[in-house]
Chain A
Amino acid sequence: MNVKHLLILCAAVFAVGCGSGNSRDEQANGSIKSVDAPKPGEEFKVALLTPGSVFDSGWNALAYDGLQEIQKQMNATVTYKESKESDIPDDMRSYARHGYNLVFGHGFEYNKPAMKVAKDFPDTVFMTSSGGETAKNVGAFRFELEQGFYLAGYLAGLQTRTGVIGSVAVQNYPSIVSTLKAFEAGAKASNPACKVLPPVYFGTEGDVTGAKQATERILAERADIVIHQANAAAQGVFDACKEKNVLAFGSNADQNSNPSGVILGSAVIIAKPAFLELAKQVKAKQFTGGIVKFGMDKGAIDFVLNPKLADRVPVDQQQKLKTVAADIKSGKIVVPEDKF
């Protein structure tokens, strides 16, 4: 009896689809999102794949920002999707089959699938954030956020009164580990005696409570400045700092205006121009593969002091910070980066 139920259920699913789908093929569906799509042939279509929600106020959110900029500036059809593990190749192929010109994969894990899929779709360019392999239509780009973290660490080294600083992060993703190492290097550069606590990981994306608990633990070790890679859970870090009246750094986005009022400055990625530049290259068919680095020299990375707390940073420290920033831009200081 149950088997019969299911047969009927299956049949119904097909009927539903047939009735509503008007037997439109996949191709036609590609443009559903763009209400006023440009004429076929002229349109430029860009898709973004992210490892997590694009609304995480962090790593994924900045890629989403970049995508929105492409849509605005280039009048492109854009779409995005969370894509993990075994869904990645299928998503890439599906977008490519629908005539998407450019598919961004925002993470190292997209690089290898892109290499495999790209062979079958020479007209689509696959661009991954970090990742080492490239081909004619596979590129990689990398934000050197390490530079921003280095500057934050440099300032932390100057600012700390207890001589202890620390960091809180979701997971030991390579992109995160690399930035935290740069933070430590920056602190050691300005204050070799300063103690940088090992990063504390809380493990689950979005676990604000865990982030807060981890931060309180760091503060209990007498740390008085904390940087984070907590994405959506960052509010927990700031709140813990506010309660103990110590300072924190924002990361990825400019979080200086956070209501907690404890953010001395933010290490930011300015993603919009980078995404736009890549998209323009692809549209003009000038892209031929390779790895592009976006650092301070290209204006893609910055460290922004919080104007409201600027009086906490004496003029000589501000001056030093500016010199180091200039040295990073000019290549005089090379900030350590992990390969991934």
Chain B
Amino acid sequence: MKRLVGISLYPIGLLLILVATLAFFKVPVRDGLGLLYSGAVGDRFAWSRMAVKSTPMLLTGLGMVVAWRGGIYNIGGEGQFIVGGIFGGTVARFAVFTSHPWSPWLATSGILVACVAGGAAWAWLAGWLYLRRGVEVVISTILLNFIALQFLGYCCSGPLQEKAKQVPLTDALPDEVMLPKLSRQMDAHFGVVLAIMAALLIYTYLFRTRAGFRVRLVGENPRMARANRIDAGRAKIQAMVVSGALCGLAGGIEYLGMSGQLGTGFSQQWGFLGIPVALLGGLHPLACILSASVFGALLAGAENLARYTPTGSTLVYVIQAVAVLGYVGIKAYRDRLPAVEA
């Protein structure tokens, strides 16, 4: 019973947060909640919206799970997402926008693989800097985020710019190269399935393979890892590369499923949003599917709120932040009560 009360704190907390935030910014609470709901799960369009919003967050969240399980604070998901996109855009240049384009199927998979490789490479760089040069990952990934963002800006108005050289965007991918969609009027695409498959795969990797076990051991108990002659450096680099690959995949799916082209606003904080998703999912890959859905629903609902109320788009950040703080607070509070923990 006590546990049930404890658990019910979360949804009640979320509701209170929503009501308080809406009220604070003078949005009619009832209408605001209604808009949030209808935007997130109100009809099939809303469901589709929620799914595509959850997808990149699920993947970057999985990336954070792997890195953090390995004891590395990768906050460079944003940069890895972007570099993945840049790699994908580069391949698209050669696979799609040439006189002899590849077959659509080959082009799509080629771009996707390039995105994964790009994210992995950017993360590997941070891992390498940490192991070889002792540069803390938190710091290097922050810097690499900035560099990736500026590099994207350069690519979009430089080497990867669209053919007419008029706007800072890459060429839009033709529909046959894009990931298949549920319907023309909805955004839901095959990437949603890919993301869920990735979650299952990462679960298997972390909990059913030797490599995953090593990563977890190095993160949880470095001393025991050393006693078992596990090469901590190698395991950490591996965690970092897998983490980056997932963020790169997120970028690839966003590119191939949603935007179809790269611009300076390619990543909408997806890399950062992975952090609360991973945390809310208790660093468990399968639970991340649920936590990503919660955040996806929040984002999708907030989109709807932003459409029909004036303060909308900035409110999203506040709601997210307060939701995370609320969750963290309640969890920490409960952790301190032995009665509930037992």
Contact = CB atoms under 8 A, between A and B. Distances in A.
Interface of A: 2-18, 20-22, 24-26, 29-30, 32-33, 47, 51, 79-82, 84-87, 89-91, 93-95, 97, 108-109, 112, 120, 171-174, 203, 338-340
B287 A81 contact: no
A32 B294 contact: no
A339 B166 contact: yes
Contacts of A172: 157, 168
Contacts of A21: 33-34, 37-38, 42
A214 to B, nearest CB: 16
A20 to B, nearest CB: 4
B153 A87 contact: no
A120 to B, nearest CB: 6
Contact of B265 (A11, A16, A85, A339): A85
Contacts of B263: 85, 109
Contacts of A30: 308
Given A11-B11, A86-B258, A17 B40 contact: yes
A51 B11 CA distance: 34
B166 A338 contact: yes
Contacts of A94: 45, 304, 307
A20 B164 CA distance: 50
A85 B290 CA distance: 25
Contacts of B254: 86
B14 to A, nearest CB: 7
16 contacts: A2-B284, A5-B282, A12-B10, A12-B11, A13-B40, A21-B42, A26-B38, A26-B45, A32-B308, A81-B312, A84-B268, A85-B259, A90-B49, A95-B307, A171-B168, A338-B166
Contact of B42 (A26, A79, A90): A26
B306 interface: yes
A204 B153 CA distance: 11
B293 interface: yes
B303 A9 contact: no
Contacts of A20: 30, 33-34, 37
Contacts of A174: 166-168
A29 B290 contact: no
B287 A6 contact: yes
Given A3-B287, A25-B38, A90-B49, A81 B313 contact: yes
B266 to A, nearest CB: 6
Contacts of B42: 17, 21, 25-26
B185 interface: yes
B141 to A, nearest CB: 20
B308 A14 contact: no
Given A338-B166, A340-B167, 19 more contacts: A2-B284, A3-B286, A3-B287, A6-B294, A8-B8, A10-B293, A17-B37, A20-B30, A25-B42, A25-B43, A26-B39, A29-B35, A32-B309, A85-B258, A90-B187, A171-B153, A171-B168, A174-B167, A339-B164
Contact of A82 (B168, B184, B306): B306
A89 B308 contact: no
Smallest CB-CB A-B distances: 7 pairs: A12-B11, A17-B37, A2-B282, A86-B258, A6-B290, A20-B33, A340-B166
A49 to B, nearest CB: 9
Given A33-B308, A94-B307, A203-B150, A10 B33 contact: no
Given A86-B258, A93-B45, A171-B264, A33 B150 contact: no
Contact of A14 (B31, B41, B185, B266): B41
A9 B39 CA distance: 18
Interface in B161-195: 164, 166-169, 172, 184-185, 187
A97 B45 CA distance: 10
Interface string B319-330: 000000000000
Nearest to B267: A85
B175 to A, nearest CB: 9
B291 interface: yes
Contacts of B150: 203
B147 interface: no
A165 B170 CA distance: 33
Contacts of A22: 34
Contacts of B318: none
B70 to A, nearest CB: 19
B217 interface: no
Given A340-B166, A340-B167, A16 B18 contact: yes
A10 B303 contact: no
A90 B71 CA distance: 38
A172 B256 CA distance: 26
B297 interface: yes
B285 to A, nearest CB: 11
Contacts of B62: none
Given A17-B41, A109-B167, A172-B157, A79 B11 contact: no
B247 interface: no
B280 interface: yes
Given A6-B280, A17-B41, A21-B37, A29 B304 contact: yes
B307 A81 contact: yes
A84 B31 CA distance: 25
B46 interface: yes
B211 interface: no
Given A13-B14, A90-B49, A338-B166, A2 B281 contact: yes
A87 B304 contact: no
B297 A13 contact: yes
Given A24-B34, A85-B265, A93-B45, A16 B15 contact: yes
Contacts of A95: 307
Nearest to A88: B259
Contact of A16 (B33, B187, B308): B33
A5 B166 contact: no
Contacts of B187: 86, 89-90
A2 B285 CA distance: 11
